Amino acid sequence: MAWDFDTDPEYQKKLDWVAEFVRTEVEPLDLLYPNPYDRSDPEVRALMKPLQQKVKEQGLWACHLGPELGGPGYGQLKLALLNEVLGTSLWAPLVFGCQAPDSGNAEILAHYGTPEQKTKYLQPLLDGEIGSCYVMTEPTGGSDPTAFRTRAVREGGEWVINGEKWFNSAAEFAAFHIVMAVTDPEAPPHQRLSMFIVPADVPGLEIVRNFTVPGFSEHEGHLRFTDVRIPADALLGAEGLGFIVAQTRLGGGRVHHAMRTVALVRKAFDMMCERAVSRPMRKGVLGGLQMTQEKIAESWIEMEQFRLLVLRTAWRIDTEQDYLKVRHDIAAIKVAMPKVMHDIAQRAMHLHGAIGVSTDLPFIDMMTYAQVMAIADGPTEVHKITLAREILKQYTPADPVYPSGYRPALREQARKLVARRLEHTIGNM
């Protein structure tokens, strides 16, 4: 039986290197270049390449991928420990080749792409030469794929796409988009959709506008498809399997968001504690007040509970090798993530007083991040329903009037058990 909380010493050395590297060479870039997704900026390219090369020399490039795709194949648990460090920096995921939405799109291409699609799109994506965008949500359908209206209609050797999508991360810098569209509106709800590769420069594809979310480097694009024509072989996977293809990236994406959130939560907590021991009061420091001590105690407990739930979920994914079998664990961390982030960031912000609510400190961005995490990849409410349903499947119905914990019935069962044991004992004396 293996049951411990130790990290392999050799991997811990790599984590120590990552922590120092991110702190000294990557985090400073966040303050000067707020959008590392813009690969058209020559300064960004000049800064990115040497840093990425150092990561590759350490064998830490694209750790979410297996060796067959150029990654080390560490698995989700090791990836979680790595993301606990990377999550403090906007630049770090790109420097380490595991940034969203590219990481999830790479998984889709790896699982469902044809050899030609992998050569044209996957390999440049893995090499960090191009960026991508995942195009799913709609203005009227939100994140519910059964309500989507964007249509892809087959016309000879082409698909023709019409519709609108919005809040598509990094769309303005993407070389291609992975687009979910309705191909058979008469099919059952989860078989109506298919997934396509759409080049960013295809005629008829328009970025209507870019939404800005405070604290996020990439803009969120509102896209309009007007008679966009793509070849028949732009289909990813089989027709009607769009929902299944989507789950390939969404399950992992939710876990990776949670992994990086652990880093941000710890950053907020560390700043809270630093403030507590630094801010002078009439007698002693802020940390000497019981209300402050309560905030710190509650925050530490919530942070550690969340971290352990994330690590356990990552371990279960590695063990089961099937996101569906870990569905309720993933739903649980998705539900816990925004609340833990919000509560600890809010306490830290409050202890910093006036400067805490200014843009000179990161707490407002953290609070916004918490709200985004409550919406991205499915709203919290949906995941609560998923979690409850998956848990309830593990239970069988009892008597609707007298539940299994009804004491009079249990007491009678206990009397009969004791009577049989006494009869057996006396009979053998």
Q: What is the pLDDT of residues 335-359, one digit of tens each?
A: 999 999 999 999 999 999 999 999 9
pLDDT at res. 429: 67
For residue 230, tell me if it sits in a domain: yes
Does the reported pTM lie above 0.95?
no
For residue 315, tell me if it sits in a domain: yes
Taking Cα atoms as reference points, which of 140, 133, 129, 145 lies closest to residue 103? Answer: 133
Q: Which domain holds residue 386?
A: 244-392
Q: Are residues 308 and 227 in the same domain?
A: no
Q: Are residues 40 and 150 in the same domain?
A: no
Q: Are residues 220 and 301 in the same domain?
A: no
Tokens 């969340």 sit at which residue?
306
CA-based torsion, 310, 315, 318, 324: positive or negative: negative
Question: What average pLDDT does this structure show over 21-26?
Answer: 95
36, burial (CB in 10 Å: exposed 0-12, middle 13-18, buried 19+): buried
CA distance 82 to 55: 12
pLDDT at res. 249: 72
Instruction: Identify each DSSP E strand in 187-267 by its residue range.
Output: 193-199, 205-211, 220-231, 235-236
42, burial (CB in 10 Å: exposed 0-12, middle 13-18, buried 19+): exposed
Tens-digit pLDDT profile for residues 106-126: 888 988 999 999 999 998 988
Q: Per the omega criterion (within 30 degrees of 0), is the bond before 101 cis?
A: yes
DSSP element (H, E) containing 152: strand 151-155
Domain CATH code at residue 185: 2.40.110.10
Q: Are residues 20 and 43 in the same domain?
A: yes
Residue 252 identity (one-letter amino acid): G
Helix, strand, coil content of the chain in percent (nearest 5): 55, 15, 30
For residue 77, tell me if it sits in a domain: yes
Q: Are residues 282 and 318 in the same domain?
A: yes
- Among 35-39, 75-79, 93-97, 356-360, the range scoring the smallest mean pLDDT is 35-39
CA distance 92 to 100: 11
Percent of the chain surpassing pLDDT 70: 97
Q: Are 367 and 359 in contact (CB under 8 A)?
A: no
Question: What average pLDDT does this structure show over 190-208?
Answer: 95
CA distance 329 to 407: 33
- How many other C-beta atoms lie within 10 A of the C-beta of residue 307? 20
Domains contained in the chain, number: 4
The three-class DSSP label of residue 105 is helix
pLDDT at res. 393: 93
Tens-digit pLDDT profile for residues 300-331: 999 999 999 999 999 999 999 888 889 899 99
For residue 113, tell me if it sits in a domain: no
pLDDT at res. 216: 72
Q: Are residues 230 and 250 in the same domain?
A: no
Token code pair at residue 140: 């009227």
Q: Are residues 86 and 157 in the same domain?
A: no
Q: Are residues 352 and 374 in the same domain?
A: yes
Where a domain ends, among 99, 118, 142?
Answer: 99
Q: Are residues 347 and 296 in the same domain?
A: yes
* Most confident segment among 29-43, 132-146, 387-401, 414-428: 387-401
Taking Cα atoms as reference points, which of 39, 33, 38, 46 lies closest to residue 129? Answer: 39
Does residue 2 carry a pLDDT above 70? no
Q: Are residues 251 and 379 in the same domain?
A: yes
- pLDDT category at 217 given cuts 50, 70, 90 is low
Distance of CA 139 to the CA centre of its chain: 22
Does residue 36 carry a pLDDT above 60? yes
Does residue 27 carry a pLDDT above 70? yes
List, in order, residues 6 or more apart from 276 with CB less than 8 Å away. 285, 286, 287, 292, 296, 351
Q: Which residue has the higher pLDDT, 142 or 20?
A: 20
CA distance 18 to 55: 9
The alpha helices in 64-218, defined as continuous H runs, are: 76-86, 92-95, 102-112, 115-117, 123-126
Does residue 142 carry a pLDDT above 80? no
Tens-digit pLDDT profile for residues 368-425: 999 999 988 888 999 999 999 999 999 999 999 999 999 999 999 999 999 999 887 7
For residue 210, tell me if it sits in a domain: yes
Question: Bridge-partner residues for 220, per DSSP?
Answer: 169, 211
The alpha helices in 196-241, defined as continuous H runs, are: none
Does residue 71 carry a pLDDT above 90? no
What size, in residues, is the chain? Answer: 429
Token code pair at residue 394: 């593990």
Percent of the chain surpassing pLDDT 90: 64
Q: Are 343 and 302 in contact (CB under 8 A)?
A: yes
List, in order, residues 6 or more apart from 386 with CB less than 8 Å away. 327, 328, 331
Taking Cα atoms as reference points, which of 231, 206, 236, 226 lies closest to residue 155? Answer: 231
- pLDDT category at 1 given cuts 50, 70, 90 is low
Q: How does the average pLDDT of the chain come out, rounded?
A: 90
